[in-house]
Amino acid sequence: MARSELDIETVKSVESYASEFPHELQTLDVYHITRAPSALWIIFLHGGAWRDPRVTSSVGKNLLAQVLNTSLPTPANAAAINYRLSPHPSFPELTQNTAKHPDHANDVLAGLDYLRVKYGMRQYVLIGHSAGATLAFQMLSLLQKRRTTGLALPKAIFGIEGIYDIASLVKEYPGYREFIEGAFGEEKDWPDALSLGGYTGLAVLAHSDEDQLLSWRQTEEMKGRCEDTLGVGGGLRVVKLAGQHDEVLETDRLVGMVERYLKDLK
């Protein structure tokens, strides 16, 4: 019997994952259904250019609710992680938003480790939208550097309308330099283009022709780097979505895509 969205609402909790002196944005929304050790956790990371206070974990609510309502082959839970933000010129009153790279990524890692410790999370997938896709793929290098956390690598990563190469993004869209420097500092401090390192799980890159903020360039370039690791036809999927940059999160096509690849996980 499928769970309804109302059922999911009743089990939602908002929890702080920071161990000491928590920031108000170091929280996550937990849609906790089962404590089965085999449960698959579906983790959503929001976008918003690392700085927009109007874009939070809540933008993943519809996607997570619908995916949890599908007939997945294994028990599933879900969570959406907030993280500290960089300053936004349109919201100068938010003086607590002072994060700089790698603060955003470190927060996501702390959120994942919180789920491991509190809920016994063992296997999980990451779904990142826009800047959230950057954070999702950044977890690969962080986790491989910090094996002491006890976190396994994700079984799959879904990059939705993602940013994967900061320098290439600013070259294509010079006007984006402002928010990139706000999040990452001077150009000499920008991180390298993302790649998979030694990751051999499933990588899904999804983008829409209707995206008014990003062309396919980021996805196509990331596709090439993924193929270098996984091989052509390996654990890489490239999918065309529908809708503008933020609208894709509300589409049935996205839900169906996530459901399809979750059912294929081994």
Range of the structural domain that residue 124 is part of: 8-264
Question: Looking at the domain assignment, is residue 98 inside a domain?
Answer: yes
Give pLDDT tens digits along the chain (266 positions): 344 453 555 457 899 999 878 899 999 999 877 888 889 999 999 999 999 999 999 999 999 999 998 888 889 999 999 999 999 999 999 999 999 999 999 999 999 999 999 999 999 999 999 999 999 999 999 998 876 568 999 999 999 999 999 999 999 999 999 999 999 999 999 999 998 888 889 999 999 999 999 999 999 999 999 887 665 445 899 999 999 999 999 999 999 999 999 998 87
pLDDT of residue 145: 83
Determine the angle formed by the axes of helices 131-145 and 103-119, rounding to 10 degrees: 70
CB 46 within 8 A of CB 80: yes
101 is catalytic: no
Q: Compute the half-sphere exposure of residue 154: CA atoms within 13 Å on the CB side of its CA.
A: 29
* Cβ neighbours for 4, distance < 8 A, ≥ 6 positions apart: 69
Question: Looking at the domain assignment, is residue 186 inside a domain?
Answer: yes
pLDDT of residue 178: 97
Query: One of 23, 46, 207, 245 is an active-site residue; which one?
Result: 245
Query: One of 52, 107, 165, 211 is an active-site residue; which one?
Result: 211
pLDDT of residue 99: 97
13 is catalytic: no
CB 131 within 8 A of CB 49: yes
Angle formed at CA 173 by CA 202 and CA 223, multiple of 5 degrees? 20
209 is catalytic: no
Candidates 258, 262, 165, 147; CA nearest to 214 is: 165
Question: Looking at the domain assignment, is residue 2 inside a domain?
Answer: no
pLDDT of residue 36: 87
pLDDT of residue 220: 97
CB 237 within 8 A of CB 202: yes
pLDDT of residue 6: 39
Dist CA 175 CA 156 (whole Å): 32
Structural domains in the chain (count): 1
Question: Looking at the domain assignment, is residue 215 inside a domain?
Answer: yes
Q: Compute the half-sphere exposure of residue 142: CA atoms within 13 Å on the CB side of its CA.
A: 22
Residue type, 78: A
The CATH number that applies at residue 190 is 3.40.50.1820
pLDDT of residue 1: 33
DSSP codes, 44-90: EE--STTT-TT--GGGGHHHHHHHHTS--SS-EEEEEE-------TT
**Is 237 strand, coil or helix?**
strand
Dist CA 77 CA 147 (whole Å): 24
User: Can the peptide bond before residue 102 be classed as cis, meaning omega within 30 degrees of 0?
Assistant: yes
Q: What burial letters (b/e) apply to 86-98, b meaning 16+ CB within 10 Å?
A: bbbeeeeeeeebe
Tokens of 141: 């290098």
Residue 54 burial by CB count (10 A; 0-12/13-18/19+): exposed, middle or buried? exposed
Question: Looking at the domain assignment, is residue 1 inside a domain?
Answer: no
Candidates 223, 186, 214, 205; CA nearest to 261 is: 205
* Cβ neighbours for 205, distance < 8 A, ≥ 6 positions apart: 159, 162, 219, 222, 223, 226, 236, 237, 238, 239
Question: Looking at the domain assignment, is residue 47 inside a domain?
Answer: yes
Query: One of 57, 86, 130, 208 is an active-site residue; which one?
Result: 130
Question: Looking at the domain assignment, is residue 237 inside a domain?
Answer: yes
